[in-house]
Every structure is written in C-alpha cells, then in structure tokens.
Structure 1
Amino acid sequence: MAFFEVDGQALHYIDQGTGPAVLLAGSYLWDQAMWAPQIAALSPHYRVIALDLWGHGESGRLPEGTTSLDDIARQALALLDHLEIDRVTLVGLSVGGMWGVRLALSAPQRLNGLVLMDTYVGVEPEPTRQYYFSLFKQIEESGGISEQLLDIVVPIFFRPGIDRDSALYQDFRAKLAGYSAERLRESIVPMGRITFGRDDLLPRLGELNAATTLVVCGDQDKPRPPSEAREMAELIGCPCVLVPEAGHISNLENPEFVTEVLFSFLSECNRNTL
C-alpha cells in the first residue's frame, strides 16, 4: 500500500510492474480493487498505477476545497508528478473517465493514450441528476444506505441478467452496506454530487487526439448507455468498442474481452510514442 498526500489528505494508490505507465481510474462507489483482473494481466508488461477516489478504499476523506472533477484531475496529475511519470496511458471508467478527460485537456503532453470506459462527459440528464441527488439526500439524512436503497443502487452497475447471488454482486452490495455515516457524509455523498453535477465537456472533445483515444462501453450499460459512448466517439473521431455481456462495470463483467482490448490499444499507443 502506498499513499501520497495532496491537499491535506492521503490518496491511496498501488504501483505495480515496470514498463510504460498505465493509470487506471475507476468508478464511483468502487475502489482500485475493481481493476484486479487488468492489474494482474498488465503489470508483467506495464507499470500499472491504480488509485482510490477520496473516501473510497484506503484513501482519506474528500479534501476541503475539492469541489469539482477538475480538482480530482489536478490531484491525479500531482500523483504522477510525485511518481516522476512524464507520460501515461489513462484508462478511466465512469467518473474516472469524467475527470480523465479533464486531465487530458489540461495536460495533453502527459498522455500517450486515453481510454474512456462506460462514461459520459456531457452534463447529467436533468431527470437523472435530480433522481441521484434525491438518493444522496436520503443517504445523508439517514447516515446509511438502507436495504431498500441497496436494492435500487446495486443493480445499476451490472447487466440486467447478472446472477444476484454471485460474489461480484454480493461483495459490492456488502461494501456499500458497510460504509460508516461519517464516510458517507464527508466523502461519498459530496463526491457523488461533484460527479453528477458536472459541467458539459462535449464541446471540447474535438481537442482530444483521436488517434490515441478509444471509447469502450458495456453493451448493456444502463447508467451510461452505448448511445452516449457513440456520441462521444463521433465527437472525438475515434473508435467505439462495445463489450459483450457487460453492464457499467464492464471490466469485471467481461474481464477477458476488456483486457484484450486494452493490450491492443496500449501496444499501439506505446508504439506510436517510442
């Protein structure tokens, strides 16, 4: 376990393997362990860094003054500086892609490539934003995620046909149920509001390097459907790959497919920059 202090809090990350650097940025409500299959496959060939969002995994609470995804991108860039990594391929899933695009736009010279997975950098559709904010209010007021709310929240992350008795499903449910009131109120809920209250970056997607960008989406992703992925890919001018038999956490529902896609992309990006 490794920690880097930024903005007064300890950011937890793992740093495994040697070679060209890959930064894995995960989903809201998940920690770096969500990348376990990809870390195991990639780290014999690449230097893999995966971090925990504030209030997630082993990272500290959301720092005072962290109010936007631009702040999260700046903090991740500070981590890369601390690790003396000049260039990295960033793989961002869900909120990881939302702040990953901001890092790419603010420091394009630091990226070999960018993979945007199960994410969307436009504004959250207003009905969805209001719905999520109502859930945050309930969680904040009660200090916990009730069984009723778990029945609503947990399925959002998976394809409709997932076995709800599977370890993947049940472990995630148990993790959410175990969050303390303090962690929920200080970090999880504020991080959710930052995520779903984001501003619109669609008009800037054309600034990304289409040749070193890839959009990936689970073919059964409900919160970030393939239509959003195709919209972003078209604006960037890059390919869009759909992951079969996968929902929002596509890298865990079809890890072999996603890992193969990443290997191919990483090989191409790093060949272009050698």
Structure 2
Amino acid sequence: MPVAIIDDQPLHYVDQGSGPVVLLGHSYLWDQQMWAPQIAALSQQYRVIVPELWGHGESGPMPAQTHSLDDLARQTLALLDHLGVAKVNLVGLSVGGMWGAPLALLAPERVNSLVLMDTYLGAEPEATREKYFALLSAIEATGAISDALLDIIVPIFFRPGIDPDSALYQDFRQSLRALPRDRLLHSIVPLGRLIFGRDDALEGLSRLDPNTTLVMCGTDDQPRPPAEAQEMADLIGCDLVLIPDAGHISSRENPDFVNEALLTFLANHA
C-alpha cells in the first residue's frame, strides 16, 4: 500500500481505479478493510482513495500536532495535495464523517459531493462519552484490550442480531485483540479521546450544500442512531437514506444496499 509523510508520520492509503475521485473515510478501530466491498464496486468506474487513520491499519502513530477533528481534516487535505487531487467525492463513516464535514467546510472547492454515514457532528452525549472514556482508561491501564473489554466494545459496532460466530464479527474481535501496546497507548487511546471529547459542530452543517450532500445510517446503528442522522439531514436540508439490517458498520453489514445507494448518488453528483 502506498504511503505519504504527513506531519512527519507515514500515512498509508489505498489508491485504486481511475475516474472521478471517491475518498472514503473509515471508522475508529477499523481500517481500509471496512470499505472492502465498496472499494471493489466503486473502483470499476472511480478512483477510490482510502486513507487509514493514525495507528490503524498500516499507518504510523498519531502525529504530535493532532489535537482535533479539524487536524484530521487538514491532514487529509495534505494527502490530497500530495496526490495532486483537486476535487473529491467524500464518503465518511463514523469518525470519517466527523472529519469529512469539517474538511468540506474548510475547503468547499475541494469537495464535489459529501456522504455522511453512521456519524454525528454534535458533541458525544454525556452518558456515552463517560462510558467510552472509561473504556479508554481501562485500555490505557493495561496496554491491551482484554476479553472482558472486547465483550463490551465489539458488539457496539454491529446490529444487535448479528451472529457473533460470523467471520465479520470474529475477524474484527481478533484485530482488536492483536493491537500492540505501543499503538494502543500512542494512537488508539489518544485518538479515541479526541473523537469522543469532540466539540459540537452541528451549527456548521447548515453551510453544507444540501443538493450535493447525503446522510445515510443503519437502521440498527446503536452508537449513532437514526435519530441523530435525521437531525443532521434536517439541519443540512438533504436526503436521509436508512440502511436496512445494518448497525454502525453498515458498509460491511449490508454492502449491496450501500454500494447501490453510493453508486446512484455518485452517478448524479460525481
């Protein structure tokens, strides 16, 4: 996988296909594999670029100058500059949307269209913020994600009815168990605190173009429920597409529906 040096650290990314550029932003604790079905489908007619978050996949540790979601947006723009990419169609899921919307507001001339999936630009609700910060402190204390913590963390990402013995569920669980101590302490935990301690950015949504923006959400998304997606779609004035039979990682739980929705949207906007 290619790499760019951004803020003195190696940022790995997928770059596949040709045509108008589709930039895919993945969820916290995942990597480019979260988008595997979309990379396969979209790269038939688009150039698909997928940067991996700091400390995730093959990317290096989080740079010292990363303090906010705006910094993640700035670093992604630096990647686009490195690649000589002038305009993108940005699809951000979870934290991918949390930096994707700021990127679109920071550099509107660089974003042709925007899809916000299973994400929320408001502050983290207090109850879940406290829960996530406690989980991060527990990981920090031991330098590992224990089985007990995995039993709490892994189900958050999926619809309640998923088979816990399925390859999707078990592969994700294994990937978290295998995260090395250095990566957890220097990237995963601080990045988690940055994400879940984020400021409320809802007021900026009204500045997005409703004609080139789409909100999507799994019907069974637990951490980012459809009510949040509806709130954002209303603030933007854009359409909301609910993804059936899908939790937070809707791109993997209902990939055919997601692919069709994205291809339809991109056909009209890319």
Residue equivalent to 1:31: 31
Aligned-pair CA distance for 1:167? 0.3
Instruction: Provide the C-alpha distance between the structure 1 equivalents of 2:175 and 2:244, rounded to a whole number of angstroms.
Output: 26
Unaligned runs of 5+ in 1: none
Instruction: Provide the C-alpha distance between the structure 2 equivalents of 1:34 and 1:65, rounded to a whole number of angstroms.
Output: 26
Aligned-pair CA distance for 1:198? 0.6
Instruction: Provide the C-alpha distance between the structure 2 equivalents of 1:92 and 1:242, rounded to a whole number of angstroms.
Output: 15
Match of 2:189, as an amino acid?
A: V
Instruction: Provide the C-alpha distance between the structure 2 equivalents of 1:241 and 1:57, rounded to a whole number of angstroms.
Output: 29
Aligned-pair CA distance for 1:33? 1.3
Residue equivalent to 1:187: 187
Match of 1:177, as an amino acid?
A: R
Aligned-pair CA distance for 1:65? 1.6
DSSP 3-state at the match of 1:242: strand
Aligned-pair CA distance for 1:131? 1.0
1:103-142 alignment, distance < 5 Å: 103-142=103-142
DSSP 3-state at the match of 1:223: coil
Aligned-pair CA distance for 1:105? 0.5
Residue equivalent to 2:218: 218
**1:265 and 2:270 are equivalent in the alignment:** no
Match of 1:256, as an amino acid?
A: D
Q: Percent identity?
A: 65
Aligned-pair CA distance for 1:197? 0.6
TM-score in terms of structure 2 length: 0.99
Aligned-pair CA distance for 1:44? 1.2
Superimposed CA distance per residue, residues 209-234 of structure 1 (whole angstroms, 9 cap, x where no aligned partner):
00000000000000000000000000
Residue equivalent to 2:256: 256
Superimposed CA distance per residue, residues 135-164 of structure 1 (whole angstroms, 9 cap, x where no aligned partner):
100100111011000000000000000010
- Aligned residues between the structures: 270
Residue equivalent to 1:74: 74
Instruction: Provide the C-alpha distance between the structure 1 equivalents of 2:188 and 2:200, rounded to a whole number of angstroms.
Output: 22
Residue equivalent to 1:232: 232
Unaligned runs of 5+ in 2: none
Match of 1:145, as an amino acid?
A: I
Match of 1:44, as an amino acid?
A: Q
Superimposed CA distance per residue, residues 97-128 of structure 1 (whole angstroms, 9 cap, x where no aligned partner):
00001100000010110000000000001111
Match of 2:138, as an amino acid?
A: Q
DSSP 3-state at the match of 2:135: helix
Aligned-pair CA distance for 1:181? 1.0
Instruction: Provide the C-alpha distance between the structure 2 equivalents of 1:204 and 1:51, rounded to a whole number of angstroms.
Output: 24
Instruction: Provide the C-alpha distance between the structure 2 equivalents of 1:66 and 1:201, rounded to a whole number of angstroms.
Output: 18
Instruction: Provide the C-alpha distance between the structure 2 equivalents of 1:138 and 1:168, rounded to a whole number of angstroms.
Output: 25
1:2-151 alignment, distance < 5 Å: 2-151=2-151
Runs of 4+ residues over 2 Å off in structure 1: none
Match of 1:126, as an amino acid?
A: E
Instruction: Provide the C-alpha distance between the structure 1 equivalents of 2:90 and 2:191, rounded to a whole number of angstroms.
Output: 20
The alignment's C-alpha RMSD in Å is 0.5
Instruction: Provide the C-alpha distance between the structure 1 equivalents of 2:184 and 2:58, rounded to a whole number of angstroms.
Output: 14
Instruction: Provide the C-alpha distance between the structure 2 equivalents of 1:148 and 1:209, rounded to a whole number of angstroms.
Output: 44
Match of 2:158, as an amino acid?
A: F
Match of 2:97, as an amino acid?
A: G
